[in-house]
Structure 1
Amino acid sequence: MVILNEDTFEERFAIKLTRLNVFILSSLSAITLVFFTVLLIAFTPLREYIPGYSSAKLKKKATILNYKTDSLVQELELNKRYYASIRKVLTGDVASLDFNRDSIIEAAKNDLDILQVPTNREDSLLREKVDKEDKYNLFEVSGDQSSYILFPPVNGTISEGYNLKEKHFAVDVVVPVNTPVKATLDGTVIFAEWTVETGYVVIIEHNRELISVYKHNSGLTKEQGDVVKSGEVIAMSGNAGELTTGPHLHFELWSKGYSVDPTNFINFE
């Protein structure tokens, strides 16, 4: 191959093409082309225009979304467990033990039982009097002057009492329709909705893992998330729900996941 000057026809460049020369030249050209192509793809934004190659911004967004999705999955699982617990309370599908007042404050009394102090007749009479006065105190903390007294949600006649064998984890108190239903203790409303079987239902979470449940109400005065005080009106009693047997309040009390007999702590009459 010869390159000539167009004006003088002077030979400017000449090369003898052979198969080997052509092969070497083609190989060098291909290698150079591949090298510069790799440089463009690896170190310039042009790589984002290659089909199937995601951008750095897209990868960052995908990573952030992955973290958010993982957090949402964990939160959803916690919510499922939370509402499953509430559903068990509403349906009564919870393992129950026959708790009494002594079992709930067992830890506090164990500390007192360690002290073997001899008593006389006057001490015994005084202790009996104090026990009667504290009959409706749910919790007593050793060394603390504060105690928790449960407020009766309503006052009326108990038509059906607490019965573990029949899985009736509550007391039914007969009251007229639209009687104010009051919170038995300070707490936070964690459920306040209508249910087909038990009408308007209110569930309040209190301190010391105590939960109170109020069913068959005709209306609500509180919403989920509201903070209530002991004796504050939270609903109006009624005769609502498919399982109702007449105007009454269905009241449940749960301590640390177990149902307890409300009459051990509350005087409904």
Structure 2
Amino acid sequence: MEASKKQKKKLVKKLLHKYRLLIINEDTYEERLSIRLTRLNVYVILGLSAIILIGLTTMLIAYTPLKEYIPGYTSNNVKKEAIELIYKADSLERIIQRNNIYYASVQQALKGKVSIDSIDIKSPVDSLSAEIEIERLNMKPSKVDSLLREKVAQEDKYNVFDVAVAETNVKLFPPLKGEITNTYNIAEKHFAVDVAAEENTPIKAVADGTVIFSGWTTETGFVLILEHLDGLISVYKHNASLAKEQGDFVKTGEVIASVGSTGDFSTGPHLHFELWSNGYPLNPTDFIEFN
């Protein structure tokens, strides 16, 4: 016990023992500076200096651009750009999903599985999110509306396709030249012409337009659909390959695909070609000379 007290006193004495720090001119031995110090003073000064140095370094790194030079640190600009890209990617993903649903509906309609009238061609994106409470609507038609509906029904009964043909008075570029092996037949619901040709023969666009579908279906193989002006749509099925992607703009006579025999419904190398105007099928031979 006594020994430990002596050691403590000895330690305190060492810490408090005074020293003098002298700075002397070596040539003249003139005293320039004299400081009285103890070991405790030195330890305290060194400790405070280290704390101040660490604090200043931390503040310098935290509040100045120097932190961007630290390995592994991501700059604010990079973070901002990454966040913007995430938002853009999310928005584009939603738009693509909605457009895919719309184009799938168009595809089903062209196969005859869905009524074309149920597709909102003018606003495919908005129509997907619209929710209508039918029970709140007044569905009782007016007298004028009833007469108009009756008139339209009579027209639809006798000359639906004739009206569509009359409204589409254009001549189109032939997608290819060849022999028609299966003609347009409303009674059999074959709203197309099948044109036989050698495999890999180039298929061309009948008019300027935009590719609204470019992909594969089990029944009809590689399919490409073009949307033209005035509600005109041209459809090319059973292709061996496709030269255009969805969203591409094509010019009249531009190669868009090649003849093939893809899909379960194909009977050999040929082009299954359809024309639609505002939701109604047209006889392609009324507008195109295939021979």
Q: Could you state the TM-score of these two structures normalised by the residue count of structure 2? A: 0.48
Which residue identity lines up with residue 2 of structure 1 in the other structure?
K
C-alpha deviation, 1:243, in angstroms: 2.7
Distance 1:97 1:48, change over 3 A: closer
Q: Which residue of 1 aligns with 2:86?
A: 69
Q: Write out per-residue CA displacement over residues 182-240 of structure 1, whole angstroms, 9 at most, x where no aligned residue.
A: 544322345445543212322112234543222124566x43335231x6675566653
C-alpha deviation, 1:261, in angstroms: 2.3
Rg comparison, structure with higher value: 2
Q: Which residue of 1 aligns with 2:219?
A: 197
Q: Which residue of 2 aligns with 1:104?
A: none
Aligned equivalent of 1:3, options 16, 19, 22: 19
8 A contact 1:41–1:47 mirrored in 2 = no
Aligned equivalent of 1:228, options 251, 255, 263: 251
Q: Which residue of 2 aligns with 1:188?
A: 210
Aligned equivalent of 2:172, options 151, 155, 163: 151
Q: Which residue of 2 aligns with 1:262?
A: 282
Q: Write out per-residue CA displacement over residues 157-202 of structure 1, whole angstroms, 9 at most, x where no aligned residue.
A: 5354389xxxx6x713244344986544322345445543212322
Distance 1:54 1:135, change over 3 A: closer
1:213 is aligned to 2:258: no
| Residues in 2 aligned to 1:253 and 1:46: alpha-carbon distance in whole angstroms | 62
C-alpha deviation, 1:83, in angstroms: 3.2
| Aligned-residue CA RMSD (Å) | 5.1
Gaps of 5+ in 1: 7-11, 16-21, 99-131, 139-147
Which residue identity lines up with residue 58 of structure 1 in the other structure?
S
Q: Which residue of 1 aligns with 2:97?
A: 80
Q: Which residue of 2 aligns with 1:171?
A: 191
8 A contact 1:199–1:216 mirrored in 2 = yes
C-alpha deviation, 1:27, in angstroms: 9.0
C-alpha deviation, 1:75, in angstroms: 2.3
8 A contact 2:218–2:263 mirrored in 1 = yes
Q: Which residue of 2 aligns with 1:251?
A: 274
| Residues in 2 aligned to 1:67 and 1:251: alpha-carbon distance in whole angstroms | 43
Q: How does 1:34-183 map to 2 (within 5 A)?
A: 34-44=51-61, 48=67, 55=73, 58-92=75-109, 94-97=114-117, 135-138=165-168, 149=170, 151=172, 156=180, 158=183, 160-161=185-186, 171-178=191-198, 183=205
3-state SS of 1:242 partner: coil
3-state SS of 1:171 partner: coil
8 A contact 1:137–1:150 mirrored in 2 = no
Distance 1:36 1:176, change over 3 A: closer
Distance 1:13 1:196, change over 3 A: same
Which residue identity lines up with residue 197 of structure 1 in the other structure?
E
Pairs aligned (count): 206
C-alpha deviation, 1:242, in angstroms: 0.6
Bigger relative contact order, structure 1 or 2 (CA pairs below 8 A, ≥6 apart):
1
Q: Which residue of 2 aligns with 1:112?
A: none
C-alpha deviation, 1:43, in angstroms: 1.9
| Residues in 1 aligned to 2:229 and 2:98: alpha-carbon distance in whole angstroms | 20
8 A contact 1:177–1:239 mirrored in 2 = no
8 A contact 2:234–2:273 mirrored in 1 = no
3-state SS of 2:117 partner: coil
Distance 1:96 1:72, change over 3 A: same
Distance 1:46 1:136, change over 3 A: closer
| Residues in 1 aligned to 2:273 and 2:21: alpha-carbon distance in whole angstroms | 111
8 A contact 1:204–1:211 mirrored in 2 = yes
Identity of aligned residues (%): 23
C-alpha deviation, 1:251, in angstroms: 1.4
| Residues in 2 aligned to 1:234 and 1:185: alpha-carbon distance in whole angstroms | 11
